[in-house]
Structure 1
Amino acid sequence: MREQIPDTSQPRFVTDKVGTPLRPKGKPLYLLPLVLLCGLLIWLILNMPQWLPKAESPTLPTPQPVAAKLEDTPFQDAQLAKARREAQDILQQLLSVQQTLESQAVSRWAENAMQAALRQAEDGDDFYQQRQFTQALDQYQASLKALQTLQQQSEQVFVKAMTEGQQALVEDDPELALSAFDLAHAIHPEDKDAHAGLLRAQSLPKVLKLLKSSGYAEEDGKIDEAIDFASQAHGLDNQHLRASQTLARLQQSKLDQLHRRYMSEGLTALAAENAGEAINAFNQALKLKPKDADSLDALRQAKSKQLAQRIAGLMRQGQQLEAQERWTEAIENYQQADALQSNLVQVRVALLRATARAELDELLRARLAEPLALRDERQYASATALLEQASRINLPGPRLSDQITTLQHLLVQARDPVSVQLISDNQTEVQLFKVGGLGTFDSKQLHLYPGKYTLLGKREGYREVLHEFILNAGDQAPVIHIRCTEKIGSI
């Protein structure tokens, strides 16, 4: 028999097994019958003369040794090579799926199924060593199918873990939340929601402890300390509903407490005929609760004590502010005067005048802040009407005069076109938003009103390009390149 060279290309899913009495040193079982047969033949040759009857002839023909030569045929060699290739292909897939499942912590959610699938692969190894290639391939394929089924199940396990984790957070169950999100994060470490949920679950025990401390502090009347604990809890997890609600409730409670203090101070001062201090206290209360009816009523009572003097002073201050074109502050003075005693004609007239001028000033400042918007026809018409309104003001004052002059200049510039030179490659389809398609070209000159524009370039097989540019009045003609150069799918 020719010496057999060990085949190093055999697929192995698991490490070589330790030898057993039937498989010493892990050798294949098919050698055992061959060894026994050879031993039997030798024993028969040595003992056969004793069994045969003695003949007259003194000697018998010497038996010729039979050399058994077991060799694989070329066809068997080809079948073996084909089986090895198929097994190797399947094993590559099998190992890839196994690695993916192990990276998804499969041992935590399907340990038994995983081990059963791996045992099928080990059985395939055993069949392969016994040259039973069809059975070996069947086992490998069955193992691969089982692992692929587990891979599909991983998404269901992930979704379930995420759902349980979110519900556990809602129910303030730290252990369940941590267990669920830890599993979800193990399956998909790259998932942002799983990572965020794990962080929330890890911080939940501390959040609950801080909320408990906040509750104790509130019971002891230590509102600032309670707010501090609740604020820490909210800082650890700003999505925790109870922490958010507790913090908001405590802050509102503190506001109510402070509001009551200001109201008490104001009423005490009002009883002592100290209208100035009472007004200050009631104003502080109104800052906390601007629409509080009790605060407004108390403020009116305090102001009524010095009504005439206060109204006159506020009116004088308002007129001074109007002269300085400080309309918002003038309105505040007139409003305070009107609050002291409503329906005074001079106060109402002054208030309407100041309000109208404040609105005009606001419109002019907003219009002057966005000169490029005048390229739009509606904006241009609106600005023209605003200019006419401002020009009708008698004694406009320095600020309004400057605004009128500036707006007139901007309206003229808005209708003074600026030249633009566009450079392309005669293959890119170019579109100018709010203007229209420009087609393909090598070079094109446009005359556009000042403003902000966007070019879009398209070309078959290439990535679209966007180019934004701004034209200001008086600019020299800019040169803008627009072409598609990056092929789709290129690296």
Structure 2
Amino acid sequence: MLSDELSDASREVARQRIHTVGYVGVTLGVGLLVLLAVGYLRSSPSDPVAPSVTQSALESSDYSSKRRDQAKDLLKMFALDLEPRFDFANLSEWAPEALDAISSFKEEAVLAFSAGDYNQAIGVIRKAEVIAKETLVQWEENFSENYLASLSHFGNNESDVAGLKIDKALVFKPTDPAALKLRQRIDVLPKVRDLLSEARVAKIENNPRKEYRALSEILGVDPQRTELRSRIRALEAEISEENFNLLIQKGFGAVDDRDLRQARSYLNSALDIYPDRGEGKNLRDKVERLGEEVALETALAEAKQAISRDDWPGALVIFQKAIKSHPDDGYLVDQTMIASKIVSLSKAIAGFVAMHQRLSSRNVFLLAERALKEVSEIADRSSSLSVKSNKLRGFLGEYDRPVDVVVRSDNHTHISVRGVGEVGVVEKKSIRLKPGVYTFEGKRSGFRSRLLNVEIGLYQTSVDVELICNEQI
């Protein structure tokens, strides 16, 4: 609540003021103690024996050294403790005369110190301290006065006066988080006033949606108005109840019209509001039954269209989805099996065609022949499957056709074809091999053995191979 904010702000301002005044008091107290100590040293009784001229000079030198140290400490304390606060306190904006006086006194103190006039340096720097500390106290009071006044006027919805006061407060503390936040809230206060008025009218008109929009917009521009949250929650509950009942009514109407898409939309929206209400469960049962009926009709129509386009993978997906809801439908079971077989064989035939080089392997060749036999039973159902099958038959014919291979050697090297058989020790010999990759091996006693890989192309008519072991061991 704004009254709480005002109370909190007052306590915080008081705390800061006590801190600043306390700081000034402590600093002045420390300075006073230093002066008393110096005075005591100067007035302390001397040795009962009359001092000599030498002793008097020593005491004078010692006193001067102490005054020098005292002046040095005061200048240092001023530079480290007070001067850094001048920029933060923004003195150049609201107290330029005080800042000039402080700077002038400090400069005079530094010059006196440099000239060895330590008493003068101490006196002048203390004047600078007094002005600085009084100015800092005034700085804190000026900020506090204007900030609290602005907060009070803000609570009374007086945006103009509140704005003037917070602007004055920001002159003293331009970066104060609380003041900057209050400035933002004052900027939107006119809009907040209008929205509050709109919300009051909406409440009188019994229009919860309009009232909810106005209050929600207020929180959007001024989130600190937490007192509105309880009313917003009550309005949310009232609006949700109204929305839920309307959605349920429309959902049952859509089921009666067999408009599945609209019925599901109303159901989902209603369940988003109250997922466990009995009305929602009743509507869900009716929508699910309608969905099963429509899904089967739609699936059969879509599958028929897919088959007419020779899109058996698409038809299979449709059948598989439909059979989950109708596992006992005999027609769906049969069509799913046919579609699955056509898709599977089509992939297998396409794989054989794409990698036809593998048909040079006898095992792969036999697998391809077996696939073609299965295709013959259903090829008339898919034109693309027939085309792929015919292409595969062409490849099988080519890979089953032997090619003449002329093997040449030195009549000393024993030659064999791995996985096929022996060629023997020959000078020249013709053999026949089907297309594929073969490894010819040459051996000869006392010579290093040799391996030679030979690829017989699909459409080659003859191949020459020369293999001689001529590297002695």
Q: Which has the larger radius of gyration?
A: 2
TM (norm. structure 2) is 0.37
More helix by share: 2
| TM-score relative to the length of structure 1 | 0.36
